[in-house]
A and B are shown apart, each in its own frame.
Chain A
Amino acid sequence: GDSVTQMEGPVTLSEEAFLTINCTYTATGYPSLFWYVQYPGEGLQLLLKATKADDKGSNKGFEATYRKETTSFHLEKGSVQVSDSAVYFCALSDPSGGSNYKLTFGKGTLLTVNP
């Protein structure tokens, strides 16, 4: 079945540091890939997405590139801010996996950015 593996952290960085959160996936077909962010006390928000190989999703300074050859979708940001402190979830949607409505989530990575 489909699966998503992401570094669990926690990750603690100083403001303006470079961020990478690794995410790799296993899927039977050609999935769409997503990063969601969950700020304390809130629901999940879509951060960025990519629907096919070599697509790059970007938003709010975050980027991730869909790499089919390495089955990866690593999240990066060049300079993090305190306000980026949150839990980040990598997820995939695989229409060939039997259900078009299921998202498969990674376990989440808690990011804390210190001033």
Chain B
Amino acid sequence: DTEVTQTPKHLVMGMTNKKSLKCEQHMGHRAMYWYKQKAKKPPELMFVYSYEKLSINESVPSRFSPECPNSSLLNLHLHALQPEDSALYLCASSDQRNSPLHFGNGTRLTVT
């Protein structure tokens, strides 16, 4: 079982909808990440939070809005997405810089 839990597992949304992806870890890790993965491609980094502060934003469009309410939770708020945003969204955490990442099983997002 993965130690990083993501909900929901699957999400279908229209281009005018607002939805949120959720991620939770209880390993005491202080860095949390959002990645986007298209089919047959490696994950692409979107955001990094370190000690609950946004550390990296990889020039992600504003229709994706991350939030880190506390050290265990990470959200990704979605609004006015495009069909090309359909992908697997992966959350990950790590306990310090250069440590291995622990990934969740992802949310499979389809934008119609």
Query: Could you mark each residue 72-101 of chain B with 1 if its beta carbon is under 8 Å from any beta carbon of chain A, else 0?
Result: 000000000000000000101010011011
Instruction: Give Cα A48 to B84, complex, Å.
Output: 33
Known interface pairs A43-B105, A44-B90, A102-B56. Does A89 touch B98 (Cβ–Cβ under 8 Å)? no
Count of chain A residues with a beta carbon within 8 Å of a chain B beta carbon:
24
Interface Cβ pair total, 8 Å cutoff: 56
Which residues of chain B are near A101, meaning CB under 8 Å? Answer: 31, 33, 48, 50, 55-56, 94, 97
The verdict on A93 contacting chain B, using a C-beta distance below 8 Å, is yes
| Among B40, B42, B101, B104: residue with most chain A CB under 10 A | B42
> A26 → chain B, closest Cβ, in Å?
16
Contacts of B92 in A (CB 8 A): 43-44
Contact A46 B45 (CB under 8 A): no
Given contacts A43-B106, A44-B103, contact A105 B42 (CB under 8 A): yes
With A43-B2, A43-B90, A95-B97 in contact, do A102 and B104 touch (Cβ < 8 Å)?
A: no
Assuming A44-B103, A46-B101, A108-B40, what are 9 further A-B pairs, CB within 8 angstroms? Answer: A41-B105, A42-B105, A43-B90, A43-B104, A43-B105, A46-B100, A101-B50, A102-B56, A107-B41
Chain A interface residues (CB < 8 Å from chain B) = 32, 34, 36, 41-46, 49, 51, 89, 93, 95, 99-103, 105-108, 110
